[in-house]
Amino acid sequence: MSRSSEKNRFENRFTEDVIEVAVVTGASGVSSGKVGGDVLWNSSIDIIACKDVNGDKPVVEDEVSLEWLVDDEELRKTRGILTKNSIVRLSIRRGKRSMMLLEVLDVEYKDQELEAILEESMKPIYYNDEILGEFEMNKSVKVFGKDVSWGGEDGDLCFD
């Protein structure tokens, strides 16, 4: 597929309206992938909260994907710009359950409401089983796990 047709297919998933938002990124960080014969990388990072910075709408706490297309060189340059568990201000276009990144405006954005959400999201989550004991959630892959010894062997026990 050509570069321009990939971009058109990608951009058609989003509205034309450009808005400025502040977001809280999730625990997974940036991932990138290609499908079939694509030339461009589809990069993404999970967003756990979003706030329209130019309005008085309330913060939306919902997990959506922030996505953008890059070539090999842009991928290398942009890997460290968006990081997990951070608050950033962005220019985006909305889609269904996703947002298209247009520009990173501020990687050190300050907002008390979003900072409280980020702080709460970073607290550990535990599950206690009467037989197997306490499991801690690995938030980057959304599974509970713990180190175990079973039949003389050490390993990891995980569940969704």
pLDDT tens, position by position, 148-158: 888 889 999 89
Task: Taking residues 109-132, report their average pLDDT.
Answer: 94
Stretch 119-138: mean pLDDT, rounded?
93
Q: Could you tell me the pTM of the whole model?
A: 0.87
- Bridge partners of 24? 49, 87
Domain residue limits, the chain: 3-121, 126-159
DSSP 6: H
Question: Integer distance in angstroms from the first to the last C-alpha of the chain?
Answer: 37
- Starting at the earlier edge strand, list the strands of the sheet with 143-150: 126-129, 133-138, 143-150, 153-159
Question: Taking 70 as the threshold, does the pLDDT of residue 1 lie above it?
Answer: no
Residue 53, classed as helix, strand or coil, is coil
CATH code: domain 3-121 is: 2.40.50.140
Report the run of H or E that residue 48 belongs to, with start and end: strand 41-52
